[in-house]
Structure 1
Amino acid sequence: MKKSVFFGALAATTLVSGLAAAATLDDIKARGELICGSNTGLTGFGAPDASGNWSGFDVDLCRAVAAVVLGDATKVKFVPTTGETRFTALQSGEVDLLVRNSTWTFSRDSELALDFVAVNYYDGQGFMVKKDLGVSSAKELDGATVCIQTGTTTELNLADFFKQNNISYQPVTVADDSEAQRQYLAGACDAYTTDASGLAASRATMPDADTHIILPEIISKEPLGPVVRHGDSAWGDVVRWTYYALLVAEEKGVTSANVEEVATSTADEEVKRLLGVSGDMGAKMGLDNDAFKRAIAAVGNYGEIFSRNIGEGTAINLARGLNALWTQGGLQYAPPFR
């Protein structure tokens, strides 16, 4: 009997917590604002300007979700989070959604009770050093001091890499990218390690960028993506399919400039469903049928977002690489809108 009472109480508690978590979409609609956990300031990915206006690759995904849910891409409050505070902010309900170069791992998916709903950037960990250090490989960093953010996968990968190569290092722990860059430029560490995209973003803001090199080794897999809480699959679906809508739009040639014209002229049945012309795709998620069309109109397709914020020709100057569409040899692939 005691066992039955215990499991009955546990089931009731689980049900209540699940119902509470599932209210995220309704809460956002009632509030009229999406609260998005962001980076503290990573150029190209998520950073405010002097007037507090946020822009970047990750920022645009938050804005796309706001356009889908609220009909207005500007209805987003950005909450800066560090490597140590980001997941707590999401777990506690301080933010509705976390989009700030966070790596999908087994332990984060299970132990932290979080759901990574997609991969918006395939990355890997690298190292940056000053040219005058005289090294051309991370394997030459024996005895080096290395700036590393706490609470990140890079911290663990760093330890693994040096152990596997039988070399030593001295960690210099920092809270975020900005502090890492300051410490590195001040000479507090010989090398700075983080995701290769983050290194490129940091180098782009340095006054003497040409005197710094990113070493060739990529020592890990870092699938980065948007995160929601466990127990809220309806909200996770909204975020997931907003992202996939941006991918399908690029694949089909739908852009922020032509989306309205395409919606009235296309003969492509998948595009019709994507843009709300047929299929009631939005209604199936508690959204307007033209919700995904609004997102594309507001921020563009995935390729536009990439090119505008971090692509070749920007200060970050990243090639698409693994983040090219599957039709172009990359890993970005969306399930069908059907």
Structure 2
Amino acid sequence: MIRRLAATALLGLSLAGCQRQEAAPQPEPPRPAVSASAAPGYQAAESPTLAAVRQRGWLACGVHPGLPGFAFPDARGVWRGFDVDVCRAVAAAALGDAAKVRFIPIQAQDRFSALQKGQVDLLARNTSWTFARDAGLGLDFAAVTYYDGQGFLAPRSLGVASAEELSGARICVQAGTASEANLAEWFNVRGLRFRPVVAASEDEARRLYESEACDVFSADVSALAASRSVLSNPGAHVILPNVISKEPLGPVVRSGDPAWTDIVRWTVHATVLAEELGLTSRTVDAARETATDPQTRRLLGLEGGLGPLLGLSDDWGYQVVRQVGAYHEIFRRDVGADSALNLDRGLNALWNAPRPGLMYAPPLR
């Protein structure tokens, strides 16, 4: 009996030991390796597009063939403009050199196919972000660089104060653009008649308008301001107060390379953050020596090690601001007070400006 009790006790202890062994916590699987300079706990990304751009040595950027303020070659053949500066900023982030860009002029009807076919790495061509374009073309809109809307350009002599007075008017509009569809929709909803004068390009629409082949010209307000700036007598024309659509403009990339989308997105955000932080292309070098604010130091690559998360160097944000500028510098010189367009910041002001706009960048942390 004693031997049986002892055996039973030993068996119970053995089973209990097995149960304790089975219940013991298993070690966690190893985490993915991260670049030593990247933020701990995050996976560094790889971008096939970035790899191709670096192997090639330059960024292929699709732009408008000639839209004053946004993309146009100057008298010396140097490309200038708001969208051009977006391209240069991405080159500064990706390659460390804003000059390493080749600008490829693309007509409106060819812009998406050029990107889909890999003829360009980035499309920065006053293009509106819409549901169908984003969801149905295999493309991604990385960010909004300019909040716009469709309007109307009319001769002052016409005496029109509102688009509501344009029933029966001949209206020039570019074929194959969101403006063409918006125009028909807006007039139909209001039971107004109009006669579309459809042009193959923006240049042609402007020429038709100036030759009085149509009464008014409809396009994005920024494009109308650009067109007005090159008319023989800009002061004889007025942009009507009506804005009939929302047109968020921004750079476009191919889907399937989220790291490249993030590179373009955060390049835009870097210019906005630089303005928020009071940085400019002229002060950024001094700031790099004296900055104590953590977000400024992260943007300038002094701490945080965030660049490698996108496959970039730690100083990518510093290079963007130093070589191209903060958002307000880009806006002012290309389309704002220092340009022929002289556009107000409006919706493109910072979210915390005295007259707040929509420009807002996520925190860099």
Q: Pick one of 263, 280, 292 that aligns with 1:255.
A: 280
2:233 corresponds in structure 1 to: 208
> 2: CA distance between counterparts of 1:134 and 1:318?
23
The one-letter amino acid of 1:134's match is: G
> 2: CA distance between counterparts of 1:63 and 1:176?
25
| 1:213-255 deviation line (CA, Å, top 9, x unaligned) | 1111000000001100111101000000001000000000111
2:218 equivalent to 1:218: no
Q: Shift of the alpha carbon at 1:293?
A: 0.5
| 1:98-123 deviation line (CA, Å, top 9, x unaligned) | 11110000000011111001100001
> 1: CA distance between counterparts of 2:185 and 2:134?
21
1:86 corresponds in structure 2 to: 111
The one-letter amino acid of 1:71's match is: G
Asked if 2 retains the 8 angstrom alpha-carbon contact of 1:326 and 1:333, the reply is yes
2:91 equivalent to 1:66: yes
Asked if 2 retains the 8 angstrom alpha-carbon contact of 1:40 and 1:176, the reply is no
1:181 corresponds in structure 2 to: 206
2:217 equivalent to 1:192: yes
Q: Shift of the alpha carbon at 1:175?
A: 2.5
Q: Shift of the alpha carbon at 1:139?
A: 1.4
The one-letter amino acid of 2:142's match is: V
1:55 corresponds in structure 2 to: 80
Asked if 1 retains the 8 angstrom alpha-carbon contact of 2:73 and 2:79, the reply is yes
Q: Shift of the alpha carbon at 1:133?
A: 2.1
Asked if 1 retains the 8 angstrom alpha-carbon contact of 2:151 and 2:239, the reply is yes
Q: Shift of the alpha carbon at 1:205?
A: 1.3
Q: Shift of the alpha carbon at 1:189?
A: 1.1
For 1:13-162, what aligned pairs fall within 5 Å after superposition? 22-162=47-187
Q: Larger deviation: 129-138 or 93-102? A: 129-138
- Structure 1 vs Structure 2: percent identity of aligned residues? 53
1:333 corresponds in structure 2 to: 360
> 1: CA distance between counterparts of 2:276 and 2:133?
31
> 1: CA distance between counterparts of 2:56 and 2:198?
38
- Runs (5+) with no aligned partner, structure 1: 1-20
> 2: CA distance between counterparts of 1:278 and 1:22?
23
> 2: CA distance between counterparts of 1:40 and 1:163?
32
The one-letter amino acid of 1:333's match is: Y
Q: Pick one of 235, 259, 282 that aligns with 2:260.
A: 235
The one-letter amino acid of 1:301's match is: A
1:170 corresponds in structure 2 to: 195
Q: Larger deviation: 135-144 or 240-249? A: 135-144
Q: Shift of the alpha carbon at 1:278?
A: 0.7
Asked if 2 retains the 8 angstrom alpha-carbon contact of 1:124 and 1:195, the reply is yes
> 1: CA distance between counterparts of 2:206 and 2:100?
31
The one-letter amino acid of 2:312's match is: L
Computing the radius of gyration from Cα coordinates, the structure with the larger value is 2
The one-letter amino acid of 1:222's match is: E
> 1: CA distance between counterparts of 2:199 and 2:98?
33
Asked if 2 retains the 8 angstrom alpha-carbon contact of 1:157 and 1:220, the reply is yes
Q: Larger deviation: 149-158 or 172-181? A: 172-181
Distance 1:187 1:39, change over 3 A: same
Number of matched residues?
318
Distance 1:43 1:70, change over 3 A: same
Asked if 2 retains the 8 angstrom alpha-carbon contact of 1:101 and 1:224, the reply is yes
> 1: CA distance between counterparts of 2:86 and 2:149?
21
2:292 corresponds in structure 1 to: 267
> 1: CA distance between counterparts of 2:51 and 2:339?
38
Task: Please give the secondary structure, in 2, of the residue aligned with 1:171.
Answer: strand
Poorly superposed stretches of 4+, deviation over 6 Å: none
Q: Shift of the alpha carbon at 1:313?
A: 4.3
Task: Please give the secondary structure, in 1, of the residue aligned with 2:160.
Answer: coil
> 2: CA distance between counterparts of 1:29 and 1:188?
48
Q: Shift of the alpha carbon at 1:176?
A: 2.4
| 1:167-189 deviation line (CA, Å, top 9, x unaligned) | 11121222322221111101111
2:312 corresponds in structure 1 to: 287
The one-letter amino acid of 1:207's match is: S
The one-letter amino acid of 2:357's match is: G
Asked if 1 retains the 8 angstrom alpha-carbon contact of 2:47 and 2:311, the reply is no
| 1:103-151 deviation line (CA, Å, top 9, x unaligned) | 0000000111110011000011000111222322111111211111112
> 2: CA distance between counterparts of 1:176 and 1:241?
32
| 1:283-338 deviation line (CA, Å, top 9, x unaligned) | 11111111111111111100000011111242101111110011111100000100
Q: Shift of the alpha carbon at 1:192?
A: 0.5
- Runs (5+) with no aligned partner, structure 2: 1-45
